[in-house]
Structure 1
Amino acid sequence: MKNKEGVNLNVTDFDFYLPEELIAQHPLKNRDEARLLVLDKKTGETELKIFKNIIDLLNPGDCLVLNDTRVIPARLIGEKKDSGGKMEFLLLKRLEGDRWETLVKPGKRAKIGTEFVFGDGMLKAKVVDIVEEGNRIVEFQYDGIFEQVLDRLGQMPLPPYIKEKLEDNESYQTVYSRELGSAAAPTAGLHFTKELLKDIQDKGINIAYLTLHVGLGTFRPVKVEVIEEHKMHSEFYIMDEQNASIINNTRKNGGRVVAVGTTSCRTLETIAGEDGTVNAKSGWTDIFIYPGYKFKIVDALITNFHLPQSTLIMLVSALAGREHIMKAYEQAVKERFKFFSFGDAMFIR
C-alpha cells in the first residue's frame, strides 16, 4: 500500500513518542468529563473540549452507532492437574459448545491433552489443540451454567498497560453493555453516561446498536514491516434488522453515521454494501483498515487515543489522513491528554 507520494507505508510511519505517565491507570469518577480533542478530517484543524460537549457536535438526524458487547471475567487462574503448577488462562473467543480459544501462560506447559483445574475443581479444562504461540483450544467441564461459574472464578481482563487494580468492574463496562462475550471493552463507549445518551436522543439524534465481541487480536502488535502484510484475528459480530433500519434511514435522510469506537467502525465497514447500505447479518470479521481504504458508511468516529504502531492508529489514519492524525497525537501529548482504555477521547468529524 502506498501513500499519496507513492511510498510504501511501514509500521514505523505510525510511531510517536508517548511518555509512560500519560497512560491512564484508572477511570474517571465522572465518565463524561474526560477531555475531547475534535479533529476535522478534511482540514486537520483541532479543538479542545470536554467529552460531554459531544452533544453540541452532533446534529439532529445523525446516528450514533454503539457496540453493546459486555466484557466477561475472562481471566482465569488455575493449576496443572498433575503438578499443581500455576497457570493463567485468558478466554479469547467461544468456538462451539464448551470449546474456547484461549491465551495460556506459560504456554509451553499447555501441551495437547494436558488438564487443568480451577477453583478446587469447580471448573476443569483440557487442551485439545494448539493454534499459535501461546494460543490453545481448550474444552471446559463444569456443573451448571458456564457464565455463572465464570462470574465466581474469573477476573476482569484489563490490558497489560494498566498496572493498578480495578476497584469496580462496572467501570470497565459501557453503561449500555448487554451482550456477554468480549475479552476487552469497546473503550470509546466508556465516556457515555445514561444521562448524556438520553440528552443526545432528546436532541433528535438517532442511536443504533450492534454487537462485536472484542478479542485481543484487535490490540495485537504489528510485527511486519510493511503494514498490509499484517493479518487481523477474526471477531464475531451481530447486526439486527431494527438497528440496520435506523442506520439506513439516517443515511437516506442525509444524517451522518457516527461510529462509537473502532469496533463499531470495523463492523459497519464489514457489513455495508458498496452503496453504504447495511443489512441484518452476523458472522466473523477480520477486516484491516489502514490508509488507502475507502469508507463505505462511516462519516465520523468517536475514539480513544491508541498505541504507537497499532492497527487502531492505522484505522483512524485511514479516516482522517496519517499526517492529520500524527499531528493531532503530537498535540495530545503536548497537552497532556491521557491515553488508551481509561484515557481521553477524540472525535474525528
Structure 2
Amino acid sequence: MNVDWFDFELPERLIAQTPLPDRTSSRLLTLNKRTGEIAHRSFTDLENDLQPGDVLVLNDTRVIPARLTGIKSDTGAKIELLLLKRLDGDRWETLGKPAKRLKTGTQLSFGDDGYGNPLLRAVIEEEAEMGGRTVRFMYEGIFEELLDRLGEMPLPPYIKERLEERERYQTVYSKHAGSAAAPTAGLHFTEEFLKKLQGKGVKLAYVTLHVGLGTFRPMSVDRVEDHEMHAEYYELDEHNARLIQEAKENGARIIAVGTTSSRTLETVAARFEGKPIGACSGWTSIFIYPGYTFKLVDALLTNFHLPKSTLVMLVSALAGRDAVMRAYEEAIAKEYRFFSFGDAMFIY
C-alpha cells in the first residue's frame, strides 16, 4: 500500500493557528462509514448523534511544557529539546535541535537562578536517528516545578501563532501529566457539554495514553506496511475497564474520542482477546491502517489530520480510504479548519 494514496493538497490558510474562543463552537463533519453519507453540522449537534448507553472513551493525558530552550554550556550556542518520554529517574528521550550540535557528552544549560548559574543542566548520553537524543538532567529541587517554569507548550510546527493561554492546549478532563502533544479531538469539549451528554444517558470512560514521538515523526517510507510506530505508554484502570466491558456485552457503541483513544482501545482488545477486559498498562506501538479490523471501536470523533500521516491511515481503516479522501476533499472545499485547533469529524 503506497503512502502517497493518503496524500492531499491543503491550502495553508485552512491550518487553524489559534483555538476558537468557545471550545464547542467548531464545525462538525459527519461520515457514515457504511453508506459514505457526509453531513455538515456544528460540534454541539454531536448530542443528536449520540444515544443513551453509548460510551465515549476519552484520553485523560495531560501535556507537559515539554519544549526547553537553552544553550550549550561550552559555546553558548542556542539549542532546543523536546521531551518525549521519561526513561528512568532523570533520563529522558528527547528530540534535539539542531541535532548536529548535540553530540554525546555535550553539556547543556537552561534558565538562570539570578546568580549566573543554570536552573537546570543536562548531558547528552546517547544519539539516535532523526534528532533523537537520550538526555540526563541535573538540578536542585523538583523537576516538574522547574519544567513548568522553564518549558513551553510543545505546539506542532505548523502552528506559528503564540498560544496565549496554556490550558487551551489541554482537554478540560486532562489528569495524568506525561504527553508531548494534546489528544486534540478532546479539545472541543467543555465540562458543561460533557455533563449535557451524560444527562442524555451517554457514559464517559477514560484511558490514558501519553502521546510521544510517533506524533512528531513523519513517515519516511514509501510503503505503508514498512512504517514502524514509536511505542507510547498507556493505562486503563479497573473502573473504566468495567465500563468498556459492559458496553461490549450490552451491544452499546464504544466511541473513541481521538486516534490516541482508538489505539489504546485496540491495544487493550488485542491484549484481552477472548477474555473480559480488565485493568492494564504497558507500551503500545500498534499501527492501524486499511485492512485492520477494529475489535472495540465502533465510532470515532477526530480532527482533520496531516496528509500522508499515520492518523489519516487510522481514520481510513475505520471508514475506508475512498470515503475519507472524499470527506477531506469536501472539507477543504467548504473551508473547514484543519489540524490541532481545527474542526471535528465524526465517523459512525
TM-score over 0.5 for the pair: yes
- Give me the whole-angstrom Cα distance separating, in 2, the residues matched to 1:249 and 1:189: 23
Q: Deviations over 1:104-145 (max 9, x none)?
A: 111111111111010021101011111222110000011111
Q: Does 1:48 align with 2:40?
A: yes
User: Corresponding residue for 2:102?
Assistant: 110
Whole-angstrom distance in 1 between the partners of 2:201 and 2:274: 25
Q: Do residues 59 (structure 1) and 51 (structure 2) align?
A: yes
Paired position in structure 2 for 1:202: 199
CA distance in 2, matches of 1:35, 1:276: 39
Q: How far 1:275 sits from its partner (Å)?
A: 4.2
Question: Whole-Å Cα distance in 1 between the matches of residues 163 and 266 of structure 2?
Answer: 33
Alpha-carbon offset, residue 237 of structure 1: 0.4
1:298-317 equivalent positions in 2, closer than 5 A: 298-317=297-316
The answer as to 2:162 corresponding to 1:165 is: yes
Deviations 1:300-320 (A, max 9, x none): 000000001100000000000
Is contact 1:276-1:297 (8 Å) kept? no
**Whole-Å separation in 1 of the counterparts to 2:278 and 2:137:** 35
Give the CA deviation at 1:269: 0.3
- Is the partner of 2:156 in helix, strand or coil? coil
Alpha-carbon separation, structure 1, partners of 2:275 and 2:336: 34
The structure 1 residue matched to 2:152, chosen from 152, 155, 165, is 155
Label 1:276 to 1:261 Cα distance change in 2 as closer, same or farther (>3 A).
farther
The aligned runs of 1:204-243 (5 Å cut-off) are 204-243=201-240
Q: What is residue 90 of structure 1 aligned with on the other side?
A: 82
Letter of the 1:226 counterpart = R
Give, in whole Å, the separation in 2 of the partners of 1:175 and 1:276: 33
How far apart in 1 are the matches of 2:107 and 2:275? 48
Q: Do the aligned residues in 2 keep the contact of 1:277 with 1:297 (CA within 8 Å)?
A: no
Verify: 1:255 aligned to 2:259, yes or no: no
Alpha-carbon separation, structure 1, partners of 2:264 and 2:175:
17
What's the offset of the Cα at 1:276?
8.0
Aligned position for 1:74: 66
How big is the shift at 1:252?
1.3
For the Cα contact (< 8 Å) 1:102–1:138, is it kept in 2? yes
Task: Tell me if structure 2 keeps the 8 A contact 1:114–1:127.
Answer: yes
Distance 2:259 2:245 in 1: 20
| Aligned-pair CA distance for 1:223 | 1.4
Q: AA paired with 1:53?
A: D
Cα root mean square deviation, aligned: 1.0
- In structure 2, how many angstroms separate the alpha carbons of the residues matched to 1:51 and 1:277? 34
Q: Choose the corresponding residue for 1:21, options 7, 13, 34.
A: 13
Is there any run of 5+ residues in structure 1 with no aligned partner, and where? Answer: 1-8
Which amino acid in structure 2 is aligned with residue 182 of structure 1? S
Q: Counterpart of 1:293 in 2: which secondary structure?
A: coil
Q: Distance in 2 between matches of 1:154 and 1:59?
A: 41
SS at match of 2:147: helix
Shift, 1:277, TM fit: 4.5
Q: SS where residue 223 of structure 1 aligns?
A: coil
Mapped partners of 1:276, 1:220: distance in 2: 34
After TM superposition, the score normalised by the length of structure 2 is: 0.96
The count of residues paired between Structure 1 and Structure 2 equals: 341
Alignment-derived partner of residue 6 in structure 1: none
Identity %: 63
Gaps of 5+ in 2: 113-117
SS at match of 2:307: coil
CA contact (8 A) 2:181 2:215 kept: no
Verify: 1:334 aligned to 2:333, yes or no. Answer: yes
Read off the aligned partner of 1:163 and give its amino acid letter. K
**2:216 & 2:49 partners in 1: Cα distance?**
29
The residue aligned with 2:23 is 31
For 1:291 and 1:279, how far apart are their aligned partners in 2? 28
Which residue of the partner structure matches residue 115 of structure 2? none
Whichever residue aligns with residue 161 of structure 2, its letter is: E
Maintained 8 Å contact 2:241/2:278:
yes
Could you say if the C-alpha distance between residues 219 and 20 of structure 1 is closer, same or farther in structure 2, counting changes exceeding 3 Å? Answer: same
Residue 98 of structure 2 aligns to which amino acid in structure 1?
P
1:219 positional shift: 4.0
Q: Which amino acid is 2:92 matched to?
A: W
Determine the structure 2 residue equivalent to 1:347.
346
Helix, strand or coil at the partner of 1:302: strand
Judged with a 3 Å threshold, the aligned counterparts in structure 2 of structure 1 residues 308 and 98 are, in CA distance, closer, same or farther, namely same
1:119 counterpart = 2:95: no
Q: 2:137 aligns with which of 135, 140, 147?
A: 140
CA distance in 1, matches of 2:156, 2:135: 22
Q: Are 1:74 and 1:154, in contact at CA under 8 Å, matched by a contact in 2?
A: yes
Contact persistence 1:33–1:50 (CA under 8 A): yes
- Partner residue, 1:267: 264
**More deviation, 131-140/335-344:** 131-140
